[in-house]
Structure 1
Amino acid sequence: MTLKFDEICIDAHDATMLGRWWSEVLGWPHDVDADGDVVLRAPAGAGPNWLFLATPDAKVVKNRIHFDFRPDDQQAEVRRVIGLGARRVDIGQGDSSWVVLADPEGNEFCILAAED
């Protein structure tokens, strides 16, 4: 038996808003499926699709899983994503080479330093 990593499912209080936001951050196309879920279609080789599912529950604790992104220019990417509505968050990372941000619903993610 073989498994294929097909989707990452993300609960969201406002799936439409959050899916569109991440679509803009990643530059991936999005659409709404027959169930009303927002699907971000990953370009070939970019990983699995992202599926945003509406839930009435608000996020209340630190994520148990998060995304790390490695840009060509860390500071430029941090400025760009903050300009789109992300915010810096402190989850106890201290002085580190990565920057921890949160999306509009508070989900943490990291912008890593560029590779040398």
Structure 2
Amino acid sequence: MAPEWDQLVVDAADPVALGRWWAEALGRVVVNDAADEYEIRPAPDRLPGLLFVPVPELKTVGNRLHLDFRPDDPAAEVARLLAPGTRRSGRASSRGRGWCSRVPRTTSFCVLEERRPG
């Protein structure tokens, strides 16, 4: 039997603030709100979770993790996610058409446009 994917661990300078941002952005619930382990999930009993943990150093090199999302209405989703603290960083290219954004001092993510046939 294959292992179950439990969670994705995200290093963060401020795990609580970053976890709250992603919970709101993804519509997830908080299952652990400790300062040293802030976890969100699709529902309390559903996996995988995103676990935000503190690290003392700030990010200094490129991302090793990049999340892509493909919503029903990409333009509306980009507008919703361009909240305080989020900035548009460019146009997606290698993974499809869409917009890339960055939450301060964290990994970036892309909101991709509808998948085209072929």
Query: What is the TM-score normalised by the length of structure 1?
Result: 0.82
Instruction: Assess, with a 3 A threshold, how the Cα gap between structure 1 residues 47 and 67 changes in structure 2: closer, same or farther.
Output: farther
CA distance in 2, matches of 1:62, 1:71: 25
1:48, distance to aligned residue in structure 2 (A):
1.3
Aligned length: 114
The percentage of counterpart residues that share the same residue type is 37
Give the match for residue 23 of structure 2.
23
Q: Deviations over 1:58-104 (max 9, x none)?
A: 1122212211001111111011000253211149959x612111113
Give the match for residue 73 of structure 2.
73
Q: RMSD of the TM alignment (CA)?
A: 2.6
* Residue 94 (structure 2) pairs with residue 83 (structure 1): no
Q: 1:88 aligns to what SS in structure 2?
A: strand
Give the match for residue 99 of structure 1.
99
RCO greater where, 1 or 2, for CA within 8 Å and sep 6 or more? 1
Point out the more displaced range, 96-105 or 53-62.
Answer: 96-105
CA distance in 2, matches of 1:108, 1:34: 24
* Residue 54 (structure 2) pairs with residue 62 (structure 1): no
1:17, distance to aligned residue in structure 2 (A):
0.4
* Unpaired stretches in structure 2, ≥5 consecutive residues: none
Task: Tell me, yes or no, if the aligned pair for 2:23 and 2:40 is still in contact at 8 Å.
Answer: yes
Give the match for residue 108 of structure 1.
108
Larger proportion of strand: 2
CA distance in 1, matches of 2:92, 2:32: 36
Amino acid across the alignment from 1:66: H
Amino acid across the alignment from 1:32: N
Task: Tell me, yes or no, if the aligned pair for 1:40 and 1:49 is still in contact at 8 Å.
Answer: yes
Query: What is the TM-score normalised by the length of structure 2?
Result: 0.81
* Unpaired stretches in structure 1, ≥5 consecutive residues: none
